[in-house]
Amino acid sequence: MSLLGPPSVPEEPAARIGWFIRLRWLAAAGALAHPAIGHFVLGLSFRVWPFVLAGAGIALYNLLFLLAGRKGGFTGRKAGRFATMQVAADIIALTLLMHLGGGIENPFISYYLFHTIIAAVLLPWWKVVLQVVCASMCMACLAIAELTGLLAHHHIVGLFPFELYDDWKFVAVTLTVLTATLCVTAVLGASIAERLRERERKLGQANAALVDQDRIKSQYVMRVAHDLAAPAGMITSCLKLVTQNRTGPIPEAALDMVRRAESKSEYLGQLIRDLLSLSRIKAAQDIPKTSVSLAEVVSQVFEDLQPHAGKKRVVLQRKLPASLPLVHGNMEAIHELLGNLIGNAVKYTRVGGRVCVSASSSGNVVVVEVEDDGVGIPADALPHIFEEFYRADNVRAEAVEGTGLGLSIVSQILSAHGGRIWVESEEEKGSTFSFSLPIVESGDAQTEPNPVECPGRHAAGIDHRS
C-alpha cells in the first residue's frame, strides 16, 4: 500500500484477504497510537494500559489469521468463511475499544463504517447484511448496557465537559443515525462491489476467449509454416547446387540472378523457422521444464555462433560466477532464447566489436545480461522492439537482414517460464538485454562450478577457457 495515495484493492479474492490482513496491522498500530496521543498530547485523562492490551490483542489475532492463511490458502468457500471471521473479529475488537474509550460518547464510533465498507468489498451482499446487523447490535448493546448500568462507563476526562452516555435521547438519536448510515453504506458498497465482481468475471471470460483464439491462430500459422518449410528448403538446396557449379557452368549474368534468389530463399527459410518457433510457443499451454545449466547453454550457443563471429572478428566473452544456480526451464527453449539474443548482438555489432554474456543470482532468480557495443537502438524504438515483425529504422539503414521475430520469440519464451526481460540501449554505443529466469527450488546441489572470466578484447572469436 502506498502511503502517498489511496490504497489499491486487489482483484483476486485471495489477494483481497491478504490485503485486509496487511491493512489490519495499521489498525493495531492505531489502537496503540490513539490513546498515546490522547493522553500525552491532548492531556485527556483515562487508563492507557487497557488500550495497549487491546492493540496487542488485535496484532496477535491478525498474526494468527496470517499464519492460517499461509498454511491453508484463501480458496473457494474457505475464503468466504475466513473473511467473515476477520470482519466479525474486528467488529468485536472495535466494540471493546469503544467501551474502553467512552462508549457512545467516543467520536471514533464512526469507525464501524470502515468495516461495513470492507465487508462489502470482501463478502457477498447477504453476508454484508449480517455484518451490519452484528455491528448495529454491538453498538446498541454497548450503549444500552452503559445506559442501564449493566456495564461500567469509562468516561474520558477532558473530552466532554459532561457525560452523555446516560441521556436516553442522545443514545437513541445516535444509534438511529449510525444504524441508518451503516445500512445505506452497506447497500451502496455491496451494489458497487457486486457490479465490479460481475465485470471482473466478464473480463476474465473475455480474456480466456482471447487466449483461446490466439492459440487457435498460432496453431493455424504453425501448420501453414510447417507446410511451407519443406518446399522452401528444397528451393534453397536446388539454388545452392547451381551457385556451387554442381549443375554445370552458367552465364555470369544468370549466376548473379540465381545468387539473389538463393539469398531471398534463405531469408524465406529463416522467416518460416521463426514463425514455426513463435507459433509453437504461443500454441503450447505449457512446456516441460527441468533443471538447466545456463553455463552449458551459453557454451553451446557460442559454438553455434563461432563461424559468424569469426568472420566479423567479433569477440564473444562470458562472465559467469564460479557457482551459478541451475534454472527451472526448458533447455531447448532457453537455447533458442540465448541464441536469438546473442545472435542479434553479433549481427548488429560492427567488425571488431565485442559481445559479453554475464549472469548473477538475485533472490530466487538468475539474471542474465547480453551486452554489445553495436549500433544500439533509438529511444523511440525501445517500446516496440518486442512486437512481431518490428525492426528499428537504424537497423534497416545498416542493411542488416532480419525477420523481426527474434525478440518476439524471446519474449514469449520468457513469458512461458515466468521470467521477464528489459533493455538499456543508446544509439551508436550498444545495447544490454537483461532477463531473469527462476532458480530451481531445492538444496545446495543445484549449483555447478564454472569459473569463466571475460577475456580481453584483443583476440577475435570465442574464448572457451574454463
With cut-offs at 50, 70 and 90, classify the pLDDT of residue 462.
very low
* 321's grid cell: 560466477
Query: Cell numbers 546441489 correspond to what residue?
Result: 445
Residue 195 is assigned to a structural domain of this protein: no
Q: Which domain holds residue 340?
A: 290-462
370: confidence class by pLDDT, cuts 50, 70, 90 = very high
Measured N-to-C along each axis, helices 112-122 and 13-36 cross at an angle, to the nearest 10 degrees, of: 170
Question: Where does the pLDDT of residue 223 fall: very low under 50, low under 70, confident under 90, or very high at 90 and above?
Answer: confident
Identify the domain boundary among 112, 140, 166: 166
What's the CATH number where 367 sits? Answer: 3.30.565.10
Asked whether residue 73 carries a pLDDT value surpassing 70, the answer given is no
Mapped onto helix, strand or coil, the DSSP state of residue 46 is coil
Q: What is the mean pLDDT of the chain?
A: 81
- Compute the average pLDDT of residues 120-148: 86
Q: Band the pLDDT of 114: cuts 50, 70, 90.
A: confident
The domain total for the chain is 2
Confidence of residue 195 (pLDDT cuts 50, 70, 90): confident
**Percentage of residues of the chain with pLDDT beyond 90:** 21
pTM of the model: 0.55
- Most confident stretch, 4-18, 246-260, 434-448: 246-260
pLDDT band at 204 (very low <50, low <70, confident <90, very high): confident
Q: Is residue 178 part of a domain?
A: no
* Average pLDDT rounded to a whole number, residues 419-448: 80
What pLDDT, on the 0 to 100 scale, is given for residue 459? 36
| Within a domain: 402 | yes
The answer to whether the beta carbons of residues 44 and 156 sit under 8 Å apart is yes
Domain termination residue (choose one: 166, 195, 216): 166
Residue 150 located in a structural domain: yes
286 vs 415: CA distance, rounded Å: 11
Longest dimension (CA), the chain: 117
Q: Is residue 179 part of a domain?
A: no
The domain boundary residue, chosen from 132, 166, 200? 166
Report pLDDT for 389. 83
Mean pLDDT of 170-174: 90
